[in-house]
Amino acid sequence: MNPDTRPALTALVTGGSKGIGRAVSLMLARSGVNIALLLRQDRNSAERLVAEIRQTGRRARAYYGDITDRGQVGARVAAIAADFGAIDMLVNNAGAAAAGDLLSLDDAAWQQVVSVNLNGCFVVGTEVAKIMRAAGGGSIVNIAGASADRCYPGAGAFGPSKAAVVNLTRQMAVEWADYGIRVNGVSPGPIRAAADDWQRREPQLAAEVARLPLRRAGLPEEVAAAVGYLLSPDAAYTTGQMLVVDGGGLCTWYMTR
């Protein structure tokens, strides 16, 4: 078949209206992939992104629901598969954070972060994997975080929940390889948009970033490039791996007190 006449692939991106999710969605769309967004809220940003994707010539639509609710997720995934004809790729990007030291972090905040970051990844991943298994395969990328591998004071539940996502990624990869489903992850470090004046608002983070080996924050587009590689045929022999995109932070002790 002529590559130009092949049906376009479809990617489902959770939490994709801003930041890394937005960059991933635009990167995939520009490479010829149709985009389905799954979000809980922020409809204005989502609909603006849908319009921007459609300007690339690709199909796009936003769906709304709670990624921790299997009933809602199952219904949305079925609708996406029916509307687009398939779900070939999944990017589990949606996440939550609640800063604070563990002795002051209340149970509700802990449960919310773990529920979105870990349970949401599990629920969406398993519902999409059923679709991919029936279709003969697919590719999944889970967004974790460099703090999954490195603790620092005051991170609350974020690091522990993302560490669980790393292990869940490997578990998915092992269990779903026979179905033709590859599962990998990307762990971003400090990521900020190029035009955002974040250094003025976040001076402590700016000081930490200055001590990174690459001495700058990463860009959402750089994380998107890593995701794109892992989803692509170039990574056909790669599964169960985490790609850390953090400016070399894991090699240093830049975040010591």
Q: Please determine, for residue 257, whether its predicted confidence score (pLDDT) is greater than 80.
A: no
Share of the chain above pLDDT 90, in %: 76
Q: Please determine, for residue 2, whether its predicted confidence score (pLDDT) is greater than 50.
A: no
pLDDT band at 253 (very low <50, low <70, confident <90, very high): low
Q: Is the pTM of this model over 0.85?
A: yes
| CATH 3.40.50.720 given to domain 7-251 | yes
Round to whole Å and give the CA distance between 65 and 72.
6
Round to whole Å and give the CA distance between 65 and 219.
28
Beta-carbon contacts of 249 under 8 Å, excluding residues fewer than 6 positions away, are 146, 150, 189, 190, 212, 213, 255
> Looking at residue 156, what is its pLDDT?
86
Q: Please determine, for residue 182, whether its predicted confidence score (pLDDT) is greater than 90.
A: yes
- pLDDT, one tens digit per residue, over 76-129 is 999 999 999 999 999 999 999 988 899 999 999 999 999 999 999 999 999 999
Please report, for the chain, the start and end positions of each structural domain, with discontinuous segments joined by +. Answer: 7-251
